[in-house]
Homo-oligomer: A and B are copies of this chain.
Amino acid sequence: MKKSLIALAAVAASGAAFAQSSVTVYGVVDTSIAVVKGQDTVSGMLNSGAATSRLGFRGVEDLGNGLKANFVLEGQVDPDDGTAGGFNFRRQSTVGLAGSFGEVRLGRALTASYNAVSRYDMFGTVGLGSTLAWSSAETGYANRSNNMISYISPKFSGFGVGIDYGFGEQKENRTARYAGIGATYDNGPLSLGLGYDKANNGLSVTGTEDLTTWQLGGSYDLSVVKLAAFYKETKYKEIATGDSEKLKTWNLGVSAPVGAAGVVKAAYNHYKLSDSSAKAQQFSLGYVHNLSKRTALYGTYAFLKNKDGADFALNGAFTGAGLTDSGKQQGLQVGVRHAF
């Protein structure tokens, strides 16, 4: 009833009057104080140490006959500077139709390949403790695609599959073209995930490479402790020359409840480049203290050691910190995560 006449006029020609729906406004604000030590010691404020700060709008409409329409518009927020780069909806902007057949979704979103395996990082792929396996800055891997049409299957006995195709941006449809698949199995304490995806140049660091990624992982919840592990292998193929190299990441993680409100967690990452002996090891330790289901205090410590020419840096670390002469970097982060 509150629909503005303007809005009605604008869409009237397309043959439909729209009823008012309920839109859910949701998000996270997560901010922390951090110290990172490499060549230099830098302290300051970092965003999103335990979950990515965001603001989103979403809704579901029941179309009858088991069919539902949904939309999500979600953008990243940088509380440290008020999102100086400008707000957008590049975390997710999709419209979908869901039914007994599963869901078909159009727009920009996380890929099924990434979703299937990234969930085994004990640090949720954010903050200083995060694995670098999917770090855009460190690996050129993109966990989202533009122009994506996705199919997400219903769950059969714990099995689910997601298939994504992202159209390219350019005339010849090659640049930034994406295709991928993710499969998951979740049954009681056991969880498994498998992903495969291929991103044509435009998503790579240099913009001149094709990236092909295999990844798999799993977790087992023993109640007193939860174990997780994943392996990711991305092949970077130089389009011009055909030369390629691989980045292989191993991750082992563990978490355990501490008292009624706390969770302690640890992870080990091993990164290795195939065409050199360059490699790095990372150890992360974290504690999350839940003040409620929506709000938590957290602390994370991470240590990274590069070898043989590798120059990885901790996820989201101050760039000014750099690495020690022996290729080391460590960081400490204490913050608050509030979801709404």
The chain A residues found within 8 Å of chain B, CB to CB, are 2-4, 6-7, 9-33, 40, 42-45, 50-52, 55-61, 63-64, 67, 69-75, 77-95, 97, 106-110, 115, 119, 121-126, 146-149, 167-173, 255, 263, 265, 288, 290-296, 298, 318-321, 335-340
Give how many copies assemble into the complex.
3
**Neighbour of A16 across the interface among B21, B70, B294, CB < 8 A:** B294
Q: State in angstroms the CA–CA spacing of A91 and B197 once bound together.
A: 37
- By the criterion CB–CB under 8 Å, are B60 and A119 in contact? no
Given the interface pairs A13-B123, A82-B146, A293-B16, the reply to whether A338 lies near B69 with Cβ below 8 Å is: yes
Q: State in angstroms the CA–CA spacing of A30 and B74 once bound together.
A: 16
For residue A88, which residues in chain B have a CB less than 8 angstroms away from its CB?
82-87
Leading 10 A-B pairs by shortest Cβ distance: A171-B320, A82-B90, A13-B124, A86-B86, A45-B147, A79-B107, A44-B167, A18-B339, A31-B106, A15-B263
Q: State in angstroms the CA–CA spacing of A336 and B60 once bound together.
A: 14
- By the criterion CB–CB under 8 Å, are A119 and B9 in contact? yes
Given the interface pairs A7-B26, A17-B293, A18-B339, the reply to whether A84 lies near B90 with Cβ below 8 Å is: yes
For residue A83, which residues in chain B have a CB less than 8 angstroms away from its CB?
75, 88-90, 93
For residue A32, which residues in chain B have a CB less than 8 angstroms away from its CB?
106
- By the criterion CB–CB under 8 Å, are A106 and B71 in contact? no
Min CB distance, A151 to chain B, in Å?
13
For residue A61, which residues in chain B have a CB less than 8 angstroms away from its CB?
292, 294-295, 338, 340
Min CB distance, A135 to chain B, in Å?
15
